[in-house]
A = this chain, B = another copy of it.
Amino acid sequence: MRTIEQKGEYSYVFSRYEEPIERVEPGEEVVLQTEDALCGLLRNENDDLEDVEKKRGGPNPQTGPLYIEGAKAGDTLKVHIIDIEPARDWAVSCINKFFGGLTPNKSTRMVNVSLHEKIYIYRFDNEGMLRHDDFLRFPWKPFMGTIATAPGREAVSTMTPFENGGNMDCPDVKPGNIVYLPVSVDGAYFFTGDVHANQGEGELCGTALEISARVKLKFEILKGRQITWPRIESPDEYMVVGSARPMEDAARIAYAELIEWMVEFGWDRLDAYQALTQAGKLYCANMVDTNYSMVAKISKTLAERRKL
């Protein structure tokens, strides 16, 4: 199986203007080596978070773009997430001065004194848990914080979740699930990175259990099938991730697009609206990034009643 590592600098934008690092055929299983969100620069509790901006292109270095053979603008890219393995024996989180869900930040500006930074190093213990101390100890439940195709004309910061995926920080982008992404440029220009060893819903302080990893993926192309926001399929559920601000707009997108998906199954639009009212799920993936991400879900059993 081919292992793909970034050649040269990692990418800090989801962009057609970056040079593809590899070409991948649909159906081929590949392993992507990813760097952690902090560029591997935070290794102990006295390291300086500002180095991420000073020495690198910022947080969220991406592996990619991969050129997916045969993908054309207007298609949909189907990404099977087969496996995620840690590439080292520790993860890192940190409280940030000007980033986080309960911290003044670049968008929600305050005149208040900032927090002190605090770095948390977690190591795998002998039960396979990531352990900082007796209280801060969490299981290995990995997923990719970022996954995207390149947008049409724009080049989007790898801090941003958007129509083509990006920094959604959605725990359902995990092994066993399938992610569907719009293809906006020929070759799709696929990026991923920012693996989290675990993360709660919302990614409250802004930094999950950040780790470098090996991500095993397989791609398919749905020819001529156009979607407008990322979709996820788990063994039991269909989901859409909406990303916007304020958070209610992210929620509206997620549910409105899930209605569209149900309409594709044969549902009447208002009946789908009614069904999601009674049986939809809606959780927050991130409340910290440049857009907030909300995930709307419906069970396959219910959605597929219309197919029967």
Contacts and interface: CB of A to CB of B under 8 A. Distances in A.
Contact of A102 (B13, B109, B199, B271): B109
A63 interface: no
Interface string A98-134: 0011111001111111110010100000000000001
A251 B284 contact: yes
B279 A200 contact: yes
A100 B109 CA distance: 12
A189 B271 CA distance: 39
A107 B202 contact: no
B277 A109 contact: no
Interface in A271-305: 271, 273-284, 287, 292, 294, 296, 305
Given A154-B13, A248-B247, A255-B101, A277 B203 contact: yes
A114 B112 CA distance: 6
B110 A113 contact: no
Of residues A57, A280, A281, which shows the largest number of chain B Cβ atoms within 10 Å of its Cβ? A280
B156 A248 contact: no
Given A110-B102, A111-B102, A135 B281 contact: no
How many monomers of this protein are in the complex? 4
Interface residues of A, number: 80
A204 interface: yes
B200 A287 contact: no
A274 B136 contact: yes
A93 interface: yes
Interface stretch (A35-43, A179-187, A205-213): A205-213
Contact of A280 (B202, B245, B282): B202
Contacts of A204: 255, 273, 276-277, 280
Given A57-B153, A102-B252, A154-B154, A111 B269 contact: yes
Contact of A252 (B108, B267, B271, B280): B108
Contacts of A255: 101-102, 202, 204
A130 B284 CA distance: 29
Contacts of A252: 101-102, 107-110, 287
Interface of A: 12-13, 15, 17, 57, 93, 95, 100-104, 107-115, 118, 120, 134-136, 138, 153-157, 198-209, 244-249, 251-253, 255-257, 259, 267, 269-271, 273-284, 287, 292, 294, 296, 305-306, 308
7 contacts: A93-B277, A100-B273, A111-B269, A155-B155, A205-B274, A209-B278, A244-B245
